[in-house]
Structure 1
Amino acid sequence: MSPARRPRARTRNRPPRGASHVGERHEVVVGPVAHGGHCVARLPADDGPGRVVFVRHALPGERVVVEITEGTDGDRFWRGDAVEVAEADADRVVPPCPYAGPGLCGGCDFQHVALSRQRALKADVVREQLSRLAGLDVDVTVEEVPGLPPHEHDGLRWRTRQRFVALPGGRRGMRKHRSHQVVEVDDCLIAVAPADHVVRGAAFEVADDGFWQVHPGAPGVLVDTVLAYLAPQPGESVLDLYAGVGLFGRFLAEAVGEGAVTLVEGDAAACEHARANVPAATVLAGDVGEVLAGLPVEPVDLVVLDPPREGARRAVVEAVAARRPRAIAYVACDPAALARDLAVLAEHGYRLDRLRGLDLFPMTHHVECVAVAVPTDLGG
């Protein structure tokens, strides 16, 4: 659970590639959902397939008027918002938040979608990414996660950490989608008071600005899933990579007893907390790839990977596979990164054995997955 998961500001000051089409409006029939909180549509064309537009605030199958928000003649695709709905899907709802919608706060992608359909859309995205990037045909379900306070609207009041933009007079705001422009926000409906750092009765040290899952039910369900998938046994050895403050390492160390548990984490402050939270483990500070490259390539029984959004990437995945663990648990906040890393594991004799999708980020397009990979020669 590396602090590197915190989002980074994007820069989009690239030179235009021809005439701009921002502000144009076109009526389109919306296609499938895509990774990133939008659906795919094509503009009408007389001479073959029209321009691809990534459309926010729409649902597959709807007929909408899309207003172009990014796009020039030379771009491969454009972006736009559905500003009028001519034919609505049955799962379209009125967004509970007054700041959700075209041109407003960019924090929530799916407030216009019934919660059960949000999860179905996320499952579609995970399934498509695994198929396209890893060649896997997997049945995916994204589950509701318990732990939210009761509220009149499901899917709200789950985010225990929220970053606002300070405005004059003590006011605050949120940024528009893919923009530095700010919308003043009186009350963010997905925000809730911070939760404690207690999991399975165990308290964790965490820095005030350190990484901790923002959904109150997330730490518990993730630990439960990883332990169930790995089934750690007394005496086994464990590598916990991108270990954060030791959420998984603490319970793995309890399960393996006298077995060797090693945590690797890039953030120095998180490492200090991990040493307090998992005193039985060896905690190594540094870039995960560099640390693994400096360690002897010795067999290990179990590995946990909980990388930042870009994934573990080839060098780390290959270093893990070289140690021939009997099982690898991968906690992923990005399905594309998960699929790419599973594809590398497949090259080195590992197959996907189990996958669980968890809706840790309602009203947004984000989804958490826990996967376990095992040696291909185990069959299945």
Structure 2
Amino acid sequence: MATFGATLAMPAVVRAQENNSIWDIFGHNRTMRDVDREGNTATALSLIETIEPILSFDTAYNLQLAIQNYEQFVAVNGSWDLPTQEMFGLMLGHRRKQVKDLKRRLMINGDMAVEERINDTFDEKLDAAVRLFQARHGLIINGQIDEPTYYALNVPTDYRLNQLRLNAMRIEQWASALSDRYVVVNIPAATIEAVEASAVVQRHTAVVGKADRATPILNSKIHQIKFNPFWTVPKSIIRKDLIKYMNEDPEYLTKFRIRIFDGKGNELQPTDIDWSTEEAVQYTFRQDPGAENSLGRCKIDFYNKFDVYLHDTPQKGLFGENSRFFSSGCVRVEGVDQLAAWLLRDNGGWDVTNVQAAFESNERLDVPLNNQVPIHTTYITAWANRQGTVSFRDDVYQYDAAGQVTFEA
């Protein structure tokens, strides 16, 4: 699918720019002035960010309703039309015949109210519909048919229906293990929800594992928060990354304050190691606390055999990406200070202000939770809320393609 989109989409941008008439440009400028794009984005997000947890029995019920709607559409219509290459690059103010096709598609998807007469102008209503479509698919909301949006439009109806069915079964299984208070990491969405009394009290953007270094799916309990932690580099990262970085830049370890220790705790120098071999794997590499530490200011520990955890990060810019699959299995958390305060509330004296003060102190501090909080790392690529809004995400680890419903937790 990505190859198809990449080969067809880019030439369409050039054609779209070349084909702009003086009337198209004039209409574009006038429409741009009149449309409340920020308001359209806010409306789209309000339809997505409800208090319902992704992982809950309510979502399982809502998915069944969505499945019925999709099955009915497929039975009557077969499939919706996939976008043509000329649809790529459409944006507010454009006047083209492909705009009509886009409107029809978004009416079918429920992103736009059905209209009897459809014109060829990319107007305010279509801008709002595109932004809702982007929000439902976890894309950067800009109102344009850019590459990620084009790819999402290019997914066939039967594929989406299969996603709904698979995820309904997954959620029904996982929901049976839920307690009153829990944390959910949804890997395909790269998001985190803090849930209490069947309602989401916090949402966080996340960065999760790459396809070849997947974040594991599991049920566990968060038991400890470490402030200003050391980072001990996993052997897999030493082997796959660190040796390569040192060959590219012999000052890498010094720049990032990573120290080397042998099995007896003696500190070594980078020059003591033969970087042309895998000798480095037999040593311990530990990064000192600080702003450049790979774990940032906070590490959130939960029991597991994979040596993964939630943590802060100095690379805040990654939270703004469409696709946030950059880690080696651990989960980076945007706004980790708020999540830490929520987790520590039963310890007394830990509000956001105190958490931030602990960050700024640069002092090492480990705080066990008085009440451990369940955490579920999950794989949900489709879900629905009570408003009938259906969301989808890419099958990054190919579990949908394999038809996998049950996971070892």
Task: State the TM-score, normalized to the length of structure 2.
Answer: 0.26
The structure, 1 or 2, with the larger RCO (C-alpha pairs under 8 Å, 6+ apart) is: 2
- When you count strand as a share of all residues, which structure comes out higher? 1
